[in-house]
Amino acid sequence: MAPNRLIILDTTLRDGEQSPGATLNTEEKVEIARQLARLGVDIIEAGFAFASPGDFEAVSQVARTVGSDNGPIICSLARAIRADIQAAAEAIRPAARQRIHTFISTSDIHLEHQLRKSRSEVLAIASEMVAYAKSFVQDVQFSPMDAGRSDPDYLYTVIEAAIAAGATTINIPDTVGFLTPLEFGALIYGIRQNVPNIEQAVLSTHCHNDLGLAVANSLAGVENGARQVECTINGIGERAGNCSLEEIVMALHVRRHLFNPIFGRPADEGEALTAIDTRQIYKTSRLVSNLTGMLVQPNKAIVGANAFAHESGIHQDGVLKNRLTYEIMDAETVGVSENRIVLGKHSGRNAFRTRLRELGYELGEADLNRAFLRFKELADKKKSVSDWDIEAIISDEIRLIPEAYRLEQVQVVCGDLGIPTATVRLSTADGSERTDAAVGTGPVDAVYRAINRIIDLPNELIEFSVQSVTAGIDAMGEVTIRVRHEQRTFSGHAANTDIIVASTRAYLNALNKLHFALAHPTHSGGVLGSPDAAAQKL
Ligand SMILES: CC(=O)SCCNC(=O)CCNC(=O)[C@H](O)C(C)(C)COP(=O)(O)OP(=O)(O)OC[C@H]1O[C@@H](n2cnc3c(N)ncnc32)[C@H](O)[C@@H]1OP(=O)(O)O
Ligand SMILES: CC(C)C(=O)C(=O)O
């Protein structure tokens, strides 16, 4: 059953969304799923359908919009419980190709303290629930949770039973990120040697990054016969996150002469080892970062701002003479364009649309017009408008949820001689306008207080960050924030050459999401108590 290329299961929308604070609403999940399809992932784990009505709806929407005949397989996670499996089966039904992923723990520590069940009970449940999932779909994946800390002999028995019951993929999670590459490789090897029917299933890895070893462990799994890797964009996920998609894919791409023989190909064969279109990597990373509010650290491999930057003289000297001296891959391979100066203030709509198409954006007329106006405003202020600036405008301008509140005007007075004071004017969807003012400890605080006087949506600001999109004094500032309302967090993102304007728009972006979630409590990311209570607050 081992295919001669690596299958990529992306779990950004399921395990990735388990990152503390990375809540996504349905529209954002669909947007990410569309981009994952462009990226070329084989399987999208779209969520955990049973977890909430919002999660169910998000999985269904992804299945409906992205799960076409030649699109990715759409998968939902389900505990080894009938109700979970039924919800998963129903949610993924609109997709042309469907997978149910069911799991149960096999480590003694989980059996004793969490499940409170014996080994024989769990063995029976695993087998029964795989068979139950099989009654809905042909493609069933089974994971023995905490496999990394399970007794190998018991693990082999459970896997053999799951395959006998119909599992077509066996996924091996190092749930707590405990193993080293040598140990994880040996675990995969041991399974291949000791599970008699293992050839009937595809072996998969699911590695967590608690010791920073998720990618290394996944690679060790591949070296030992795993043919599917579970991963997330930017490596986001529960606790320290998961194996990062961009890192594992580029490791296989850049070092393919090492991996080709493992996949039974000549070392120098040119064909890629995954179906991923690597030129979509950077764009996907930016989208996920913007929508989840999880910033990418500058030194992050492949997609960090510094990943292709050369700072020191000796390195710059080498790169100028021959870039191979200090570069192991071309930035364009992952979609980071070298073509920084593209458009200016004399460019027209056609040139702008063409550049957007080259960057992979196909906008409707209304969105295009809004983005074009922002581009012109920026071109008036900046000497050159780069691809990075254009991406920032698009992610800022194209809102996935309706805007209940729109910024009309913001003005601040600040400095070390007076009290920072802000005046804000907002318009609402019905066309009315409201203006208010407030003082604060700084200009952003003053703006946020002024907005809070207009919009009564109690929240706590839990994260605020500003970074520049490009170098230079006229660079666009990108602001990413997160606010907490009751138990939920909402991210906001905006870009502008004026960081106070960007901060204001980012806050409104988060408040619009919060407002939308309260108004649509069954949407993913929006289950916030009773609709009546929500309506009262509005
Ligand atoms: C390693 C992973 O990433 S696993 C996936 C993690 N993702 C999530 O948890 C998604 C979000 N979760 C949720 O919304 C909720 O936990 C729900 C809806 C799934 C369940 O909620 P509740 O019914 O209130 O249960 P709660 O979360 O308190 O406890 C989990 C229960 O599931 C049981 N359980 C855990 N894993 C499994 C499993 N794989 N198969 C069967 N039962 C399981 C636990 O033993 C516990 O049962 P108990 O209440 O009888 O002790
Ligand atoms: C459900 C499984 C695959 C999981 O997420 C884990 O064990 O980390």
pLDDT value at 340 more than 50: no
Band of residue 524 on the pLDDT scale cut at 50, 70, 90? low
| Mean local confidence (pLDDT), 315-333 | 87
126 lines ligand 1 (CB under 6 A): no
Angle between helices 245-254 and 281-292 (to 10 degrees): 170
Ligand 1 atom with the smallest distance to the CA of 104 is: 39
Ligand 2 atom with the smallest distance to the CA of 145 is: 7
Residues 6+ apart with CB under 8 A from 153: 194
| Residues 95/63, Cβ–Cβ less than 8 Å | yes
| Mean local confidence (pLDDT), 432-459 | 96
- With b for 16 or more beta-carbon neighbours within 10 A and e for fewer, the 334-350 pattern comes to bbbbeeeebbeeebeee
| Mean local confidence (pLDDT), 251-256 | 95
Q: How far is CA 116 from CA 78, 83, 121, 194, in A?
A: 19, 20, 10, 27
pLDDT digits (tens, 9 = 90+) for 118-164: 999 999 999 999 999 999 999 999 999 999 999 999 999 999 999 99
pLDDT score, position 538? 21
pLDDT value at 352 more than 60: yes
DSSP state of 49: G
pLDDT digits (tens, 9 = 90+) for 263-276: 999 888 888 999 99
Ligand 2 binding pocket mutation candidate from 18, 75, 77, 204 (most atoms within 8 A of CB)? 77
pLDDT score, position 522? 63
Ligand 2 atom with the smallest distance to the CA of 147 is: 7
145 lines ligand 2 (CB under 6 A): yes
82 Cα to the center of ligand 1, angstroms: 13
Phi, psi for 406 (deg, rounded to 5): -125, 140
| Mean local confidence (pLDDT), 6-21 | 94
Global confidence as pTM: 0.85
| Mean local confidence (pLDDT), 501-511 | 94
DSSP states along 270-310: -S-SSS--GGGHHHHHHHHHHHH--PPPTT-TTTSTTTT--
196 Cα to the center of ligand 2, angstroms: 24
pLDDT score, position 338? 61
pLDDT score, position 432? 93
Residue nearest to atom 6 of ligand 2 (CA): 175
Band of residue 2 on the pLDDT scale cut at 50, 70, 90? low
DSSP states along 58-91: HHHHHHHHH--TTS-EEEEEEESSHHHHHHHHHH
215 Cα to the center of ligand 2, angstroms: 15
pLDDT score, position 274? 97
Ligand 1 binding pocket mutation candidate from 48, 128, 232, 487 (most atoms within 8 A of CB)? 48
The H-or-E segment that residue 258 falls in is helix 256-259
| Mean local confidence (pLDDT), 500-513 | 94
Q: Which ligand approaches the C-alpha of residue 172 most closely? A: 2
pLDDT value at 292 more than 60: yes
Higher model confidence: residue 450 or residue 293? Answer: 450
| Residues 204/230, Cβ–Cβ less than 8 Å | yes
Band of residue 390 on the pLDDT scale cut at 50, 70, 90? confident
- Cα separation, 453 vs 436, in Å, equals 7
| Mean local confidence (pLDDT), 189-195 | 98
pLDDT score, position 388? 74
177 lines ligand 2 (CB under 6 A): no
Band of residue 318 on the pLDDT scale cut at 50, 70, 90? confident
pLDDT score, position 367? 85
- Cα separation, 323 vs 336, in Å, equals 16
232 lines ligand 2 (CB under 6 A): no
Ligand 1 atom with the smallest distance to the CA of 81 is: 41
DSSP state of 114: I
pLDDT score, position 425? 97
pLDDT score, position 535? 26
175 Cα to the center of ligand 1, angstroms: 15
Chain-centroid distance of CA 65 in Å reads: 18
127 Cα to the center of ligand 1, angstroms: 19
